[in-house]
Amino acid sequence: MISLLLVKQIAQLFLVMLMGFILVRTHLLKPEESKSLSIVVLYLIMPCVIINAFQVKYTESIRNGLILAFAAAVLIHIALLILVKVLEKIFHLDAVEKSSIMYSNSGNLIIPIVTSVLGYEWVIYSSAFLSVQLVLMWTHGRMVLCEERKIDFKKILLNINMISIFFGILIFATRIQLPNILTETMKSVSVTIGPISMIVTGMLIGKMTLKQVFAYKRIYLITFLKMIVCPAVIILLLKFRGMTTLLPNGKMILMISLLATITPSASTITQMAQIYGKNAEYASVINVVTTIICIATMPIMIWLYQL
């Protein structure tokens, strides 16, 4: 049932992405204008979503669920680090390929999908995966792409989404309820995250040609590793370690972590590759192809998880 709802939701997001694609192809907007929308998503919409997600009544059940979600996120990322290291040796992956396989576009996709398929009350558990990935992306991911060992803690701590998560946890733990006018305002802003994120993706796709996409012969291999191999390993990890039985709603909470894992490659990797002088076009191609493929792979992976 959930996998069918997921198909419907992803199809809707794909149609929105198509709208962004058409805007660029008809020359109504330029691809680089998507940067403004990205800033709106990153600095306005995402913080509203995260903070509002923590505005739920404090209960022991939610607290335990968050602990399980954080533990699952850490375990998943450790497994991915090991898996990518093994795949690197077998397939001689470069920096862009390793980062694209390791990190998912969970920030833009997981929250709208969880909201639409499961309900807004489940969004709080997705913040656990987001926080773990943010820390790793600006430490391990950055070191892989710029080939240095220095960790930029300032980038991590001052990341707007990390600040929002810390603030959300604080008000949840202290049981502070923000004024209703604030929560309702943030909620009205939050519902736009899915459409705007997908319009941005569509605009980025709009500047590409098929020649650019298929110029990279390894795109099939990287897409297969990212969207099939890694999700399959994580499903086995979650299903056969007994984690789903730790809490009454454990299976659903872990499914949210799985959803975050099986999303396409992170669009942030494209931006980081550009900053650190790596092949940003290749990173963008991986992001685009995995985004298109996820329409089929994500529902299949959730179906396998539910078996």
The two counts, helices (H) then strands (E), for the chain are: 18, 0
Give the span between the Cα atoms of 220 and 12, in whole angstroms. Answer: 25
pLDDT number for residue 106: 78
CB-CB contact of 204 with 26 (8 Å): no
What number of CA atoms fall less than 13 Å from residue 129's CA on the CB side? 28
CA dist., res. 135 & res. 145, Å (int): 15
Give the range among 45-59, 138-152, 260-274 with minimum mean pLDDT. Answer: 138-152
What angle do the packed helices 250-261 and 123-136 form, to 10 degrees?
Answer: 40
Whether 109 contacts 264, CB under 8 Å: yes
Q: What is the pLDDT of residue 88?
A: 95
Q: Identify which of 176-185, 198-207, 220-229 has the greatest average pLDDT.
A: 220-229
Range with the lowest mean pLDDT among 23-27, 76-80, 116-120, 257-261?
116-120
Fold assignment, 2-306: Na+/H+ antiporter like fold (1.20.1530)
Q: Which secondary-structure segment (H or E) carries 96?
A: helix 95-102
Give CA separation, 174 vs 66, 157, 180, 188, in Å.
Answer: 15, 21, 17, 25
Structure tokens at 240: 């056969």
Residue 147 makes CB contacts below 8 A (sequence gap 6+) with 95
User: How would residue 254 be classed by pLDDT, with cut points 50, 70 and 90?
Assistant: very high
Q: How confident is the model at residue 220 (pLDDT cuts 50, 70, 90)?
A: very high
Give the contacts of 240 (CB within 8 A, at least 6 positions apart): none
If one compares 131 and 222, the residue with the highest pLDDT of the two is 222
The region of weakest confidence among 135-144, 154-163, 248-257 is: 154-163
Cβ atoms of 11 and 194 within 8 Å: the answer is no
Question: Which has the closest alpha carbon to 193: 41, 9, 43, 37?
Answer: 41
In Å, how far are 8, 11, 50, 266 from 92, measured between CA atoms? 37, 34, 37, 21
The pTM of this model reads 0.83
User: Which residues on neighbouring strands pair with residue 104, listed in sequence order?
Assistant: 265
Q: How many whole angstroms separate alpha carbon 9 and alpha carbon 155?
A: 33
Can you tell me the distance from the alpha carbon of 65 to that of 281, in angstroms, rounded to the nearest whole number?
Answer: 39
Distance (Å, rounded) from C-alpha 274 to C-alpha 283? 9
Average pLDDT, the chain: 85
189 secondary structure, DSSP code: H
Question: What's the pLDDT tens digit per position in 52-106?
Answer: 878 877 788 888 998 999 999 999 999 999 999 999 999 999 999 999 999 998 7
- Residue 20 and residue 41 in contact, taking contact as beta carbons nearer than 8 Å: no
Q: Where are the domains of the chain?
A: 2-306
Report d(CA 269, CA 248) in Å as an integer: 36
- Please name which of 250, 227, 225 lies closest in space to residue 72, comparing C-alpha atoms: 250
Helices (H), 159-192: 160-173, 180-190
Cβ pair 161, 138 in contact under 8 A: no
